[in-house]
């Protein structure tokens, strides 16, 4: 068996390459791919470690929910405890405008709020290097001025370096010369790469291509999330998924595959509106014809499967300006008839969760996955709030919540329940709900591009062969 190394404990349980992780939850035993290089087995002593995290929690310069920062603290501690010196990086927001093809560097999308939080939390100093910004193209290069900070990092004059928002760099999402230059410059900063950003599965420079240049490992948060997403793929049944979103066309693939895997599927938001338009031949303002056509495939699928649990009452409003008395009303699905036209449907009426069929499905579920905000926040929050309460009443199910908006609203609407969920064996909060949907679509957590890159890196460097065997 592989020898014990500092950090072999995850959530109080021993984890080794290729061995099961029993975290005490009722959902059973999970497994990590034996080819996945783990942080626990990296040689970190006196090494500069490039750590990719998912601290995309800032909007308008403020942290909305520190959860995705806190779950990476164990990885940071592990690196420092074992003699590594961290250079941390994350993306924040979407500064690249696909229409104008310009990259804007705005202070309210900087890492400053995250760095300030870490410094208060850990009582150590982080340095944020400043690089030249090119108008409309962002940061072109990591210039050599950072070498002075790296000297201070190695000399322990500072606790860590936190790079600017990775999406401010011209090469982060590029696939050409900008990306190649950026990746080479990133690799030149460090000795080792650690990926702890489960939520950032897209193959970008700082999550995927960097593994071609440095020995690379999965961080503790990444390991934990991969272990638990395996549980969602192999759920106790009945398995109920709750999925919502603002655009139907981006969810076609995941919805088609999720439908095959679940026992019941609950939809919300524009996705639900689109499904209803396609099924009942009605019009809802804000739902496009092209999306309705796409949704007809799901309607046909459900004619035989009958897995979609329809929430029977919705909130219709004449305006999107807010919750204005006299401008909104409850409408019922049973009253739909072909050709009817409705104003904006902006929420699920909370009474929907009192309907006998809805109650029965949620109360009898053994596994529940939620990647959903049911209403248009902040004015129409009532459906989401009632949904959270209804799911929590099921005390025997394993409940998995995922996605930045899902967790943010969960915390905002039910702070006490949210805090209890953090410590509950019946809850698990994923940092990346979209990543879980991707895994459900693909059927394999180790098929994510970023995870495949780590496994391929392990083969390239051959260091897994030296970990020992039983």
List the CATH number of the domain containing 93: 3.40.50.1260
Question: How much is the mean pLDDT over the chain?
Answer: 90
Does 232 score more than 70 pLDDT?
yes
Are 190 and 241 contained in the same domain? no
Are 38 and 107 contained in the same domain? yes
Are 304 and 265 contained in the same domain? yes
How large is the greatest C-alpha to C-alpha distance in the chain, in angstroms?
Answer: 72
Please state the rounded mean pLDDT for residues 131-145.
93
Would you say residue 3 lies in a domain?
no
Total residue length of the chain: 470
Would you say residue 302 lies in a domain?
yes
Structure confidence at residue 26 (pLDDT) = 35
Are 207 and 286 contained in the same domain? no
Structure confidence at residue 32 (pLDDT) = 80
Please state the rounded mean pLDDT for residues 44-56.
97
Structure tokens at 52: 């990719």
Measured CA to CA in angstroms, residue 386 lies from 332, 373, 401 at distances of 18, 11, 15
- Ramachandran sector of residue 391 (left: φ over 0; alpha: ψ -120 to 50; beta: rest): alpha
Are 199 and 252 contained in the same domain? no
Query: Can you give the residue range of the structural domain that contains 326?
Result: 229-430
Would you say residue 264 lies in a domain?
yes
Are 61 and 173 contained in the same domain? yes
Are 386 and 267 contained in the same domain? yes
Structure tokens at 11: 């959530």
Please state the rounded mean pLDDT for residues 14-42.
57
Nearby residues of 54 by Cβ (< 8 Å), 6 or more positions away: 68, 72, 90, 91, 196, 197, 198, 199, 200, 431, 432
Please state the rounded mean pLDDT for residues 47-75.
95
Are 345 and 398 contained in the same domain? yes
Please state the rounded mean pLDDT for residues 89-98.
93
The answer to whether 173 touches 96, Cβ cutoff 8 Å, is yes
CA 320 to chain centre: 28
Does 27 score more than 70 pLDDT?
no
Would you say residue 336 lies in a domain?
yes
Please state the rounded mean pLDDT for residues 5-24.
36
Are 384 and 319 contained in the same domain? yes
- pLDDT range class, residue 138, cuts 50, 70, 90: very high
**Entry pTM:** 0.88
Are 65 and 173 contained in the same domain? yes
The answer to whether 228 touches 30, Cβ cutoff 8 Å, is yes
Nearby residues of 98 by Cβ (< 8 Å), 6 or more positions away: none
Are 196 and 258 contained in the same domain? no
Are 215 and 242 contained in the same domain? no
Percent residues over pLDDT 90 in the chain: 82
Structure confidence at residue 463 (pLDDT) = 58
Q: How many domains does the chain have?
A: 2
Please state the rounded mean pLDDT for residues 47-57.
97
Would you say residue 307 lies in a domain?
yes
Structure tokens at 416: 């006490």
CA 294 to chain centre: 25
Does 6 score more than 70 pLDDT?
no
């Amino acid at each position: 068996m592989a020898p014990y190394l500092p950090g072999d404990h995850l959530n109080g349980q021993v984890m080794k390459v290729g061995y099961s992780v029993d975290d005490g939850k009722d959902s059973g035993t999970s497994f990590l791919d034996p080819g996945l290089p783990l942080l626990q087995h990296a040689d970190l002593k006196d090494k500069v470690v490039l750590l990719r995290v998912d601290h995309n929690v800032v909007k308008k310069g403020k942290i909305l929910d520190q959860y995705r920062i806190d779950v990476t603290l164990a990885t940071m501690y592990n690196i420092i405890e074992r003699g590594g010196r961290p250079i941390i990086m994350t993306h924040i927001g979407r500064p690249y405008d696909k229409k104008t093809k310009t990259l804007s560097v705005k202070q309210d999308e900087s890492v400053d709020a995250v760095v300030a939080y870490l410094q208060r939390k850990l009582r150590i100093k982080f340095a944020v290097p400043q690089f030249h910004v090119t108008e409309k193209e962002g940061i072109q290069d990591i210039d050599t001025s950072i070498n002075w900070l790296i000297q201070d990092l190695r000399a322990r004059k500072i606790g860590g370096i936190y790079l600017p928002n990775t999406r401010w760099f011209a090469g982060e999402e590029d696939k050409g010369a900008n990306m190649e230059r950026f990746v080479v410059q990133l690799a030149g900063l460090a000795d080792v790469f650690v990926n702890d950003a489960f939520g950032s599965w897209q193959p970008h420079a700082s999550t995927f291509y960097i593994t071609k240049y440095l020995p690379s490992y999965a961080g503790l948060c990444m390991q934990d999330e991969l272990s638990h997403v395996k549980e969602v793929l192999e759920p106790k049944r009945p398995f109920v998924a709750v999925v919502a979103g603002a655009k139907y066309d981006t969810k076609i693939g995941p919805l088609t595959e999720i439908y095959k895997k679940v026992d019941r599927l609950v939809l919300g938001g524009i996705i639900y509106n689109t499904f209803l338009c396609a099924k009942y031949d009605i019009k809802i303002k804000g739902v496009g014809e092209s999306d309705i056509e796409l949704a007809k495939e799901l309607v046909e699928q459900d004619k035989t499967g009958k897995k979609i649990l329809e929430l029977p009452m919705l909130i219709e409003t004449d305006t999107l300006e807010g919750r204005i008395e006299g401008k909104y009303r409850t409408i019922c699905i049973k009253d739909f008839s072909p050709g009817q036209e409705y104003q904006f449907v902006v929420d699920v009426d909370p009474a929907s969760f009192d309907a006998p069929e809805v109650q029965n499905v949620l109360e009898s579920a053994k596994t529940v996955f939620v990647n959903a905000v049911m209403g248009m926040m902040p004015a129409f929050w009532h459906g989401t709030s009632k949904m959270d309460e209804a799911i929590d009443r099921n005390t025997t199910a394993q409940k998995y919540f995922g996605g930045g908006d899902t967790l943010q609203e969960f915390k905002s609407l039910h702070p006490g329940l949210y805090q209890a969920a953090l410590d509950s064996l019946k809850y698990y909060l994923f940092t990346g709900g979209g990543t879980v949907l991707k895994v459900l679509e693909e059927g394999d957590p180790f098929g994510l591009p970023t995870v495949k890159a780590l496994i391929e890196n392990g083969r390239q460097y051959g260091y897994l062969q030296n970990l020992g065997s039983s």
